[in-house]
Amino acid sequence: MLKYLVIYASVTGNTRLLAEEIYNALPVSPKEKKLVDIRSWHGEADAENYFVGFWANRGSCTLEIIDLLSSLHSRNVALFGTCGMGAGSRYYDALEQNARVWLSESNTFLGSYFCQGKMPIEVRLKYESYRGKADDARIDQMLSYFDEAATHPNRQDFMHAHMFTERMVSRIKDLSLEYA
Ligand SMILES: Cc1cc2nc3c(=O)[nH]c(=O)nc-3n(C[C@H](O)[C@H](O)[C@H](O)COP(=O)(O)O)c2cc1C
Protein backbone atom coordinates (compact mmCIF):
# COMPACT_ATOMS: atom_id res chain seq x y z
CA MET A 1 0.00 0.00 0.00
CA LEU A 2 1.20 3.51 -0.79
CA LYS A 3 1.98 5.94 1.99
CA TYR A 4 0.20 8.86 0.27
CA LEU A 5 -2.35 9.24 -2.49
CA VAL A 6 -3.05 12.74 -3.80
CA ILE A 7 -6.22 12.50 -5.84
CA TYR A 8 -8.11 15.40 -7.34
CA ALA A 9 -10.95 16.56 -9.56
CA SER A 10 -10.13 19.58 -11.71
CA VAL A 11 -11.87 20.87 -14.81
CA THR A 12 -9.85 23.99 -15.66
CA GLY A 13 -6.56 23.07 -13.94
CA ASN A 14 -6.54 25.18 -10.74
CA THR A 15 -6.99 22.26 -8.36
CA ARG A 16 -4.50 20.18 -10.36
CA LEU A 17 -1.84 22.83 -9.68
CA LEU A 18 -2.51 22.66 -5.92
CA ALA A 19 -2.43 18.85 -6.10
CA GLU A 20 1.00 18.97 -7.76
CA GLU A 21 2.29 21.31 -5.06
CA ILE A 22 1.00 19.01 -2.33
CA TYR A 23 2.41 15.92 -4.05
CA ASN A 24 5.85 17.55 -4.38
CA ALA A 25 5.80 18.64 -0.72
CA LEU A 26 5.30 15.08 0.56
CA PRO A 27 8.61 13.99 2.09
CA VAL A 28 8.80 10.43 0.72
CA SER A 29 10.22 8.76 -2.40
CA PRO A 30 8.07 8.61 -5.57
CA LYS A 31 7.53 4.89 -4.87
CA GLU A 32 5.56 5.74 -1.75
CA LYS A 33 3.25 8.40 -3.20
CA LYS A 34 1.02 8.86 -6.22
CA LEU A 35 -0.71 11.80 -7.90
CA VAL A 36 -3.94 10.86 -9.65
CA ASP A 37 -6.62 12.67 -11.65
CA ILE A 38 -9.87 11.13 -10.42
CA ARG A 39 -11.10 10.81 -14.02
CA SER A 40 -8.40 8.25 -14.72
CA TRP A 41 -8.71 6.38 -11.44
CA HIS A 42 -10.52 3.08 -11.02
CA GLY A 43 -9.67 2.30 -7.41
CA GLU A 44 -6.46 0.48 -8.36
CA ALA A 45 -4.24 2.35 -5.86
CA ASP A 46 -4.75 2.53 -2.14
CA ALA A 47 -2.85 4.45 0.52
CA GLU A 48 -2.65 4.96 4.26
CA ASN A 49 -3.12 8.71 3.79
CA TYR A 50 -5.31 10.51 1.28
CA PHE A 51 -5.17 14.12 0.10
CA VAL A 52 -8.46 14.59 -1.75
CA GLY A 53 -8.85 17.72 -3.88
CA PHE A 54 -11.86 19.21 -5.62
CA TRP A 55 -13.21 22.41 -7.16
CA ALA A 56 -16.30 24.00 -5.67
CA ASN A 57 -19.41 23.26 -7.66
CA ARG A 58 -22.56 24.88 -6.27
CA GLY A 59 -20.97 25.06 -2.84
CA SER A 60 -19.93 21.43 -2.68
CA CYS A 61 -17.76 18.80 -4.36
CA THR A 62 -18.62 16.79 -7.46
CA LEU A 63 -20.18 13.31 -7.53
CA GLU A 64 -16.95 11.48 -8.31
CA ILE A 65 -15.40 12.99 -5.16
CA ILE A 66 -18.46 12.05 -3.11
CA ASP A 67 -18.09 8.46 -4.41
CA LEU A 68 -14.42 8.40 -3.47
CA LEU A 69 -14.92 9.88 0.01
CA SER A 70 -17.77 7.45 0.71
CA SER A 71 -15.57 4.50 -0.28
CA LEU A 72 -12.78 5.26 2.22
CA HIS A 73 -12.47 3.36 5.48
CA SER A 74 -9.82 3.51 8.22
CA ARG A 75 -7.71 6.05 6.35
CA ASN A 76 -6.25 9.44 7.26
CA VAL A 77 -7.88 12.03 5.01
CA ALA A 78 -7.02 15.65 4.25
CA LEU A 79 -9.11 17.80 1.90
CA PHE A 80 -8.04 20.63 -0.38
CA GLY A 81 -9.49 22.61 -3.23
CA THR A 82 -10.17 25.78 -5.12
CA CYS A 83 -13.27 27.91 -5.45
CA GLY A 84 -14.40 31.21 -6.90
CA MET A 85 -15.40 32.77 -3.59
CA GLY A 86 -13.03 35.03 -1.72
CA ALA A 87 -10.93 34.14 1.23
CA GLY A 88 -13.55 34.04 3.92
CA SER A 89 -13.13 31.20 6.31
CA ARG A 90 -16.92 30.75 6.54
CA TYR A 91 -17.17 29.72 2.89
CA TYR A 92 -14.11 27.49 3.20
CA ASP A 93 -15.52 25.97 6.40
CA ALA A 94 -18.77 25.21 4.56
CA LEU A 95 -16.86 23.53 1.72
CA GLU A 96 -15.01 21.41 4.25
CA GLN A 97 -18.23 20.46 6.04
CA ASN A 98 -20.09 19.65 2.83
CA ALA A 99 -17.34 17.22 1.78
CA ARG A 100 -16.61 15.81 5.22
CA VAL A 101 -20.12 14.49 5.68
CA TRP A 102 -19.31 11.79 3.10
CA LEU A 103 -16.44 10.37 5.18
CA SER A 104 -17.33 7.50 7.46
CA GLU A 105 -16.34 7.67 11.12
CA SER A 106 -13.70 4.97 10.70
CA ASN A 107 -11.50 7.55 8.95
CA THR A 108 -9.42 10.21 10.66
CA PHE A 109 -10.03 13.67 9.23
CA LEU A 110 -6.79 15.66 9.26
CA GLY A 111 -7.76 19.11 8.02
CA SER A 112 -8.39 21.13 4.89
CA TYR A 113 -6.94 23.88 2.73
CA PHE A 114 -8.83 25.99 0.19
CA CYS A 115 -7.97 28.99 -1.94
CA GLN A 116 -9.50 30.91 -4.82
CA GLY A 117 -9.21 29.70 -8.40
CA LYS A 118 -9.79 31.69 -11.58
CA MET A 119 -13.08 31.16 -13.39
CA PRO A 120 -13.91 31.08 -17.10
CA ILE A 121 -15.08 34.40 -18.61
CA GLU A 122 -18.54 32.88 -19.21
CA VAL A 123 -19.13 33.06 -15.45
CA ARG A 124 -18.50 36.85 -15.47
CA LEU A 125 -20.83 37.30 -18.45
CA LYS A 126 -23.50 35.34 -16.64
CA TYR A 127 -23.21 37.56 -13.53
CA GLU A 128 -23.42 40.67 -15.74
CA SER A 129 -26.54 39.33 -17.41
CA TYR A 130 -28.30 39.38 -14.02
CA ARG A 131 -28.23 43.23 -14.00
CA GLY A 132 -31.74 44.54 -13.61
CA LYS A 133 -33.01 41.08 -12.59
CA ALA A 134 -31.22 40.70 -9.24
CA ASP A 135 -29.88 42.80 -6.38
CA ASP A 136 -27.12 45.12 -7.71
CA ALA A 137 -25.02 44.86 -4.54
CA ARG A 138 -25.01 41.07 -4.80
CA ILE A 139 -24.03 41.20 -8.48
CA ASP A 140 -21.21 43.64 -7.70
CA GLN A 141 -19.94 41.32 -4.99
CA MET A 142 -19.94 38.31 -7.34
CA LEU A 143 -18.11 40.36 -10.00
CA SER A 144 -15.51 41.42 -7.47
CA TYR A 145 -14.97 37.78 -6.43
CA PHE A 146 -14.58 36.92 -10.11
CA ASP A 147 -11.91 39.63 -10.62
CA GLU A 148 -10.15 38.76 -7.38
CA ALA A 149 -10.03 35.07 -8.34
CA ALA A 150 -8.48 35.84 -11.75
CA THR A 151 -4.91 35.70 -10.39
CA HIS A 152 -5.36 32.57 -8.26
CA PRO A 153 -3.97 30.16 -7.38
CA ASN A 154 -0.87 32.34 -6.99
CA ARG A 155 2.56 31.89 -5.39
CA GLN A 156 1.23 32.61 -1.94
CA ASP A 157 -1.54 30.01 -2.36
CA PHE A 158 1.09 27.44 -3.37
CA MET A 159 3.23 28.37 -0.37
CA HIS A 160 0.20 27.93 1.91
CA ALA A 161 -0.56 24.57 0.28
CA HIS A 162 3.03 23.53 0.96
CA MET A 163 2.78 24.57 4.62
CA PHE A 164 -0.59 22.82 4.89
CA THR A 165 1.02 19.60 3.61
CA GLU A 166 3.80 19.86 6.20
CA ARG A 167 1.19 20.32 8.96
CA MET A 168 -0.76 17.28 7.75
CA VAL A 169 2.39 15.14 7.58
CA SER A 170 3.31 16.11 11.11
CA ARG A 171 -0.24 15.30 12.28
CA ILE A 172 0.05 11.87 10.62
CA LYS A 173 3.35 11.28 12.45
CA ASP A 174 1.70 12.20 15.77
CA LEU A 175 -1.16 9.79 15.02
CA SER A 176 1.21 6.94 14.26
CA LEU A 177 2.95 7.53 17.62
CA GLU A 178 -0.43 7.56 19.40
CA TYR A 179 -1.32 4.16 17.93
CA ALA A 180 2.18 2.67 18.20
C1 LIG B 1 -20.13 25.41 -13.34
C2 LIG B 1 -19.30 26.05 -12.26
C3 LIG B 1 -19.81 26.10 -10.98
C4 LIG B 1 -19.08 26.72 -9.97
N5 LIG B 1 -19.61 26.77 -8.71
C6 LIG B 1 -18.91 27.40 -7.75
C7 LIG B 1 -19.43 27.49 -6.43
O8 LIG B 1 -20.50 27.01 -6.11
N9 LIG B 1 -18.71 28.15 -5.50
C10 LIG B 1 -17.49 28.70 -5.77
O11 LIG B 1 -16.86 29.29 -4.88
N12 LIG B 1 -16.94 28.60 -7.01
C13 LIG B 1 -17.62 27.98 -8.00
N14 LIG B 1 -17.06 27.86 -9.24
C15 LIG B 1 -15.66 28.32 -9.47
C16 LIG B 1 -14.68 27.12 -9.44
O17 LIG B 1 -14.87 26.32 -8.29
C18 LIG B 1 -13.22 27.63 -9.44
O19 LIG B 1 -12.95 28.40 -10.60
C20 LIG B 1 -12.22 26.48 -9.33
O21 LIG B 1 -10.93 27.02 -9.10
C22 LIG B 1 -12.16 25.60 -10.58
O23 LIG B 1 -11.23 24.58 -10.31
P24 LIG B 1 -10.52 23.72 -11.44
O25 LIG B 1 -9.71 24.67 -12.28
O26 LIG B 1 -9.65 22.77 -10.68
O27 LIG B 1 -11.58 23.04 -12.23
C28 LIG B 1 -17.79 27.28 -10.26
C29 LIG B 1 -17.28 27.22 -11.56
C30 LIG B 1 -18.02 26.63 -12.56
C31 LIG B 1 -17.44 26.61 -13.97
Q: What is the pLDDT of residues 65-121, one digit of tens each?
A: 999 999 999 999 999 999 998 877 789 999 999 999 999 999 999 999 999 999 999
CA 175 to centroid of ligand 1, rounded, Å: 33
Give the dihedral sign, CA 154/158/159/161: positive
Query: Which atom of ligand 1 lies closest to the CA of 10?
Result: 26
Q: For each of the domains in the chain, give its residue range(s) and CATH number, in order of start.
A: 2-117+153-179 (3.40.50.360), 120-151 (no CATH)
- Ligand 1 near 115 CB (within 6 A): no
At residue 177, does pLDDT exceed 90?
no
Query: Which atom of ligand 1 lies closest to the CA of 56?
Result: 17
Alpha-carbon span 175 to 76, nearest angstrom: 9
pLDDT in tens, 26-62: 999 999 999 999 999 888 889 999 999 999 998 899 9
Q: 2-30 as b/e, with b when 16 or more CB fall inside 10 Å?
A: bbbbbbbbbeeebbbbbbebbbebbeeee
What's residue 86's pLDDT?
81
- Ligand 1 near 59 CB (within 6 A): yes
- Ligand 1 near 117 CB (within 6 A): yes
Q: Which of 80, 119, 143, 148 to mutate to test the pocket of ligand 1 (most atoms within 8 A of CB)?
A: 119
Alpha-carbon span 38 to 64, nearest angstrom: 7
Ligand 1, atom 27: closest residue by C-alpha:
11
How many of the other CB atoms lie within 10 Å of CB of 103? Answer: 19
